[in-house]
């Protein structure tokens, strides 16, 4: 569970170091933090609302920042709205942390057109392969998945990794599997996950299950809305440009006719 956010970032990196899910990764990372905090016994979720139960530091700066934002909120926080508003530069923060750990290399200053582009080629191929193996074990299998597997599979789907990592007709079953998991199908119960462990462990896993559902639903909804907004903006821009060009052409044509 601890590697959930880092796994999402590593799975999103192309061989040349591009972040293929740049528009969605923030939602996935916020979702991953919500799930991890619940699994650590730091919060519970009831009717979609988050209640912080333990403010003690986790030892992970990312999680501590997430926990502080939830605990310091002036009013009850809805999981969906929290996941849907990623912290500023959250994706970059995870990339920088992986680079500091020697998993990535930072290549700054590459230019694409007139815009500078930073690339993050993976230097620890084994670490990325481990993340891919974890997702493959979920996407290419059948039957119920654990809470941890549901979180990775569901958030991978919400982040857009299904189409990135499993393209083409032959991978349709894998994409469908991730979608079913994201929608709450094929997920084992919290009691099964915790086995015969202590009540506290079962309670934490139950909270993690709740958080997984809330996080995946929120990340999927936010990513979908972001895609709709981007498409709408592009359509409006194209329509405006076309209308301007048409008006300019008509004006030019009218002037020519009048001269004749």
- Flag whether 142 is in a domain: yes
- The CATH number of residue 233's host domain is 1.10.3630.10
Residues 6 or more apart whose Cβ sits within 8 Å of residue 73: none
CA–CA separation, 32 vs 1, rounded Å? Answer: 9
Domain range enclosing 132: 4-237
Predicted local distance difference test score (pLDDT) of residue 259: 46
Answer whether 37's CB lies under 8 Å from 82's CB. Answer: no
- Give the DSSP letter of residue 76: P
Using alpha carbons, select from 94, 121, 92 the residue that is nearest to residue 106: 121
Q: Tell how strand 43-46 and strand 49-52 pair up.
A: antiparallel
- CA distances 113 to 16, 109, 117, 142, 255, Å, are 17, 12, 10, 45, 37
- Flag whether 39 is in a domain: yes
- Flag whether 196 is in a domain: yes
Answer whether 25's CB lies under 8 Å from 159's CB. Answer: yes
- CA distances 254 to 84, 248, 249, 258, 260, Å, are 50, 10, 8, 6, 10
Predicted local distance difference test score (pLDDT) of residue 190: 40
Per-residue tens of pLDDT for the chain, all 260 residues? 899 999 999 999 999 999 999 989 999 999 999 999 988 889 888 888 899 999 999 999 999 999 999 999 988 899 888 998 999 999 999 999 999 999 999 988 755 555 667 899 999 999 999 999 999 999 999 989 888 898 999 999 999 999 999 999 999 999 999 999 988 877 765 434 445 455 666 666 677 777 787 778 877 777 666 656 665 555 666 566 666 666 666 655 554 444 44
| Element at 63 (helix H, strand E) | helix 61-71
Answer whether 182's CB lies under 8 Å from 20's CB. Answer: no
- Flag whether 252 is in a domain: no
The token pair at 48 is 């979609």
- Flag whether 161 is in a domain: yes
The token pair at 46 is 């009831």
- Give the DSSP letter of residue 40: T
- Flag whether 28 is in a domain: yes
Answer whether 20's CB lies under 8 Å from 184's CB. Answer: no
Predicted local distance difference test score (pLDDT) of residue 194: 44
CA–CA separation, 62 vs 72, rounded Å? Answer: 16
Total number of domains constituting the chain:
1
What pTM was estimated for this model as a whole?
A: 0.80
13 DSSP β-pair partners:
19
- Flag whether 254 is in a domain: no
- Flag whether 210 is in a domain: yes
Predicted local distance difference test score (pLDDT) of residue 196: 47
């Amino acid at each position: 569970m601890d590697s959930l956010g880092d796994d999402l970032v590593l799975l999103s990196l192309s061989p040349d170091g591009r972040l293929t899910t740049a528009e969605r990764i923030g939602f996935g990372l916020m979702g991953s933090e919500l799930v991890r905090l619940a699994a650590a016994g730091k919060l519970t979720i009831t009717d979609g609302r988050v209640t912080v139960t333990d403010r003690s530091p986790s030892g992970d700066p990312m999680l501590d920042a997430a926990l502080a934002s939830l605990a310091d909120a002036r009013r009850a926080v809805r999981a969906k709205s929290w996941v849907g508003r990623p912290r500023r530069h959250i994706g970059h923060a995870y990339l920088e942390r992986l680079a500091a750990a020697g998993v990535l290399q930072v290549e700054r200053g590459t230019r694409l057109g007139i815009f500078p582009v930073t690339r993050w080629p993976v230097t620890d191929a084994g670490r990325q392969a481990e993340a891919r193996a974890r997702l493959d074990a979920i996407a290419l299998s059948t039957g119920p998945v654990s809470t941890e597997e549901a979180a990775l599979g569901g958030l991978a789907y919400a982040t857009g990794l299904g189409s990135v990592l499993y393209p083409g007709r032959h991978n349709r079953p894998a994409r469908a599997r991730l979608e079913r998991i994201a929608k709450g199908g094929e997920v084992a119960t919290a009691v099964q996950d915790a086995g015969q462990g202590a009540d506290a462990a079962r309670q934490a896993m139950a909270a993690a299950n709740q958080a997984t559902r809330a996080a995946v639903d929120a990340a999927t909804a936010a990513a979908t809305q972001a895609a709709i907004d981007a498409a709408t903006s592009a359509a409006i821009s194209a329509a405006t440009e076309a209308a301007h060009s048409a008006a300019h052409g008509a004006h030019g044509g009218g002037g020519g006719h009048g001269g004749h």
